[in-house]
Chains A and B, each alone.
Chain A
Amino acid sequence: MTADLHVVGRSVERNDGIGFVTGRARYSTDLVFPGMLHLKMVRSPVHHARIRGVDLSAAERVPGFVRALTHQDVPHNVYTILGLIGVEPEEEFVLAVDRVRYVGEPIVAILAETEAAAYEAVARVHLDLEELPAVFDMDEALAPGAPIVTHWGSNAFSYDGDDHRKVRLGDVEAGLAAADHIVDGEYRSGPIEHAPTETTGCVAVPEPNGRFTVYTNTQALYFSLDNTSIILQLPGNRLRFIGGMVGGGFGGKVDVIVEPLATLGAMKTGRPVRYVYNRSEEMQVSSTRSPWIIRIRDGVMADGTIVARRVTSYADCGAYSRQTPYAITKHAANAAGPYAIPNVAIDAWCVFTNRTPTSAMRGFGVTMASFAVEVQMDRVAEVVGLDPWTIRFRNAIRNGDIKPHRKPAADVALVETMQAAAALVGHELPAELRAMTSAPRDQQDGGR
């Protein structure tokens, strides 16, 4: 049978490989157009402030300065990424209006003939800022009296009218009360920057037919196109986005925001505009993975059966929510791990602070849940005196089991995957575990 397969089981040459090894692959940040202007951003130097005034007069005198873009130039001055996936409220501006909430928040875009002139003009913009108290810690942000980051008076994102995302199955208090052991764990992670080798950027080119061609390294071409169309109040048929070459993304180029302003610059000047982050912008300003605090309390029987799990999680979305509220929802669906537990309570908060906004990165919301749950499983194993394999097999989810969000598990293969993993690392499993399958419990039970 395998003789008929042309791809499966074979190493196939990538069709874009020649472009990479010859350096001919064309990245959007490689492009140069005649008359191209450079966009550089005036950014907040402080964590939290009211903007009292912006004085552009010295910047305008820099040789090579072409024009500035302020919030008044942006037709729909809202960062619409969340709206595109149906999450509200819209709280982030494309260019700051009267307040900045994190270091690096964009305030005024400068267009100039050369990069050097653009930097020079940026340095000469005078900001009159009234600094406000800032908060950087999630526990502090949720405590009474904390400086409030959002415009609606709370540092928590609202889910269905509640101040956090909830998942409930069974009766977690009763489960914990009936357990032989209680196992507590707290897990914390810091923000992680994707640090792609090619920084975020694009070039927007005005075309003779009134359209704009935008060459961009976004990971989400149509997301970026929709975003630009809404922010500029421009029909989609006037925008042509060309992408595909992404010099490292890892989620960091999913909700980029360079295209609307580059295109606006091209509209206002009639010239191509290049807006590419420098390395320090990439590290300081582009979204990171959220930092997390995850607290787990398990109720466990003497034989290792987990009868109750309470997960309380906090993700720091920074100054603006971006895709972190969505990450919390994914988190809440996965935070109990791939285990069959009859009584579960999950409470997950999306917390605002004056840190760099956080957003998408490889499995965001789930990655840290998996880390916390699997370290917790090792602790549970230690407490009841079982080995780490047995504790996982004994609690592994099977087809037909009800997951914490009350959907039955289908097409799961955790038991078989662990059996294969054991074989790969040369670990001899006891016969009891080797005999298990993911078949529904009422059809076969070699387990519990």
Chain B
Amino acid sequence: MASVIVGFKLAGREVEVMASPLATLQQVLRTQLGHTSVKDGCRQGGCGSCTVLVDGEPMLSCLLPVQDIAGRSVTTLEALTPAEGLHPVQRAFLDANGFQCGYCTPGMEMLAVALLEHNPQPTREEIEDALGGNVCRCTGYEPIIEAITAATGSREAGR
């Protein structure tokens, strides 16, 4: 299959990549664009470690053919991390030790950012619900839920 050129917005900047039509957004971000915060746990939509935002919506980049996001806007954790300091969600994960091996963390944080955007004051049940597609094998989820709960507070305090 001949490669195609696909243009989309990444972290607010226009990018163009040449890729085979069925190449996934996950592989293009990881291997061509250096956005390795996008993780690669299963390539079958089962673990959530590759979660990115496409036009603000959390999506599993391992299931997205890159040509399907032509012209759309993609946000990864690289884009959310400020040049200095941390995003409030990152700060909350750090303070609550919402990680152990760290591999699921970027996906968890992207999901948390999307959740708080839609629902700034989620209940515990709503947080658990939102995390349903993201697998963590280390922490037992409690510190992650704690981190997101704390991020809720810090967003409020920051307003």
Contact = CB atoms under 8 A, between A and B. Distances in A.
Interface string A189-201: 0000011111100
Interface string B1-45: 000000000000000000010000000001100001111111110
Interface in A55-107: none
Nearest to A12: B97
B75 interface: no
B57 interface: no
A427 interface: no
Contacts of A29: 40
Contacts of B138: 248
A281 to B, nearest CB: 11
Given A22-B37, A22-B90, A196 B137 contact: yes
B102 A247 contact: yes
B94 A197 contact: no
A118 to B, nearest CB: 14
Contact of A24 (B30, B31, B37): B37
Contacts of A247: 39, 41, 101-103
B94 A198 contact: no
A30 B106 contact: no
Given A19-B102, A197-B137, A14 B97 contact: yes
Interface string B105-132: 1100100000000000000000000000
A246 B101 contact: yes
Interface string B73-102: 000111001000010001101100111011
Nearest to A199: B41
Contacts of A11: 97
B64 interface: no
B78 A248 contact: no
Contact of B105 (A20, A199, A246): A20
A81 B106 CA distance: 34
A250 B42 CA distance: 18
A134 B102 CA distance: 40
Contact of B81 (A22, A246, A249): A22
Interface in A1-53: 11, 13-14, 16-27, 29-30, 32
20 contacts: A13-B94, A20-B99, A20-B102, A21-B90, A21-B91, A21-B94, A21-B98, A23-B36, A30-B30, A32-B31, A195-B137, A196-B137, A197-B103, A198-B103, A199-B40, A199-B41, A246-B101, A247-B103, A250-B137, A279-B43
